[in-house]
Amino acid sequence: MIMPELPEVETIKNNLQEIKGKKITALNIRRQDIIKQKDFDPEELIDQEVTNIDRRGKYLCLATGNHCHLLVHMGMTGRFFLLDQELSYEDKHLHFVLHLDPGRKILFQDPRRFGGIWFVRETATFFQTMGMEPLSPDFSPEYCLKVMARRKTSIKNILLNQSIIAGIGNIYADEALYAAGIMPDRPGAGLSSREMARLHRAIQEVLRKGIEEKGTTVRDFRDGYNRSGGFQNQLQVYGRKNQPCFRCGQTIGVTKIGGRSSHYCSRCQQ
DNA sequence: CGCTAGTCCTGTCTGC
DNA sequence: TGCAGACAGGACTAGC
């Protein structure tokens, strides 16, 4: 099971750079309920050039020449990928198609439909409540200490809170906490500055590694060409319940935190 | 405001 | 072999 997190969306973003400058020729909304917001008529995108493909948190953002934005969130099982016109494709759970000139298309497929598409005019407003990008220069141990001060909830919950840090999901949260040697149920405010420095570094390391490996594929994730990623082979704790810790041999445990499974090594993490 | 529990959804896995 | 139930969880909402 997978949800596309920051490294997965970043991978799709990188793949899709080649459509920059291409013209949108048509679009096909096959399921209305995956459209979450419509600041403008989607038809306005037709005949427009894709001017930019960006990422903010777990959102992919396509900009067009007339200052319109198409935002995509993959939810848990969403796929957003390029396909050459002549190739056949599985159209089950296919909710949206963007046709590009010449003869290519981008498909949005999402069996579980936790994902969606937003037609947004002002991205600044849309992303107003989104937290800091963890790979930006402003993301520092000091920032972490500041935003986690006085928070009694678990550090795991804080890492998953998109309004504090953008883009971290269950897999990279567990991996970062393992790499930092911190138990996921520790209250955020209880972390020492030394621990916060370790966590800050671990977050950046696992995310960078995830991007380098072009994402994690447990079952569902596919990149902008519908290919699998490689980070699943480097997971230390996520999905390794009852298996020995690579570092110390202790059995990896799982507990529920905030309704989500949290994987940890009780010897390597305090 | 901070936090928890419930909700949505369907493919896959488990146990009888 | 078949089938019911558990499970996966991102983001949002209601309620305390």
Å between A205 CA and C9 C1'?
23
Q: Which bases of chain C are under 7 A from a protein CB atom? A: 7-12
Residues A185-222 have pLDDT tens digits of 999 999 999 999 999 999 999 999 999 998 888 766 77
A156 is annotated as an active-site residue: no
The answer to whether A153 CB is within 7 Å of strand B is yes
Tokens at A208, concatenated? 């960078």
pLDDT reported for residue A232: 87
A205 is annotated as an active-site residue: no
In this complex, the residue with its CA at the shortest distance from the C1' of nucleotide B2 is A151
Over chain A, what HEC string results?
A: CCCCCHHHHHHHHHHHHHHCCCEEEEEEECCHHHEEEECCCHHHHCCCEEEEEEEECCEEEEEECCCCEEEEECCCCCEEEEEECCCCCCCCCEEEEEEEECCEEEEEECCCCCCEEEEECCHHHHCCCCCECCCCCCCCHHHHHHHHCCCCCEHHHHHHCCCCECCCCHHHHHHHHHHHCCCCCCEHHHCCHHHHHHHHHHHHHHHHHHHHCCCCCCCCCCCCCCCCCCHHHHCCCCCCCCCECCCCCCECEEEEECCEEEEECCCCCC
Instruction: Name the closest nucleotide to A58, judged by C1' and CA.
Output: C10
Of A residues 198-237, those with CB within 7 angstroms of nucleic strand B are 219
Angle at which helix A193-212 crosses helix A141-148, to 10 degrees, equals 120
| Residues within a 7 A CB radius of strand C | A 1, 3, 5, 57-58, 73, 75-76, 112, 114, 160, 162, 169-171, 254, 259-261
A152 is annotated as an active-site residue: no
Å between A220 CA and B15 C1'?
25
pLDDT reported for residue A220: 64
Q: Which of A55, A58, A105, A156 is catalytic?
A: A58
Å between A210 CA and B7 C1'?
30
Q: What pTM was estimated for this model as a whole?
A: 0.95
pLDDT band at A2, cuts 50/70/90?
A: low
pLDDT reported for residue A169: 94
A4 is annotated as an active-site residue: yes
The answer to whether A111 CB is within 7 Å of strand B is yes
pLDDT reported for residue A91: 86
- Average confidence (pLDDT) over A152-167: 95
Å between A256 CA and C16 C1'?
22
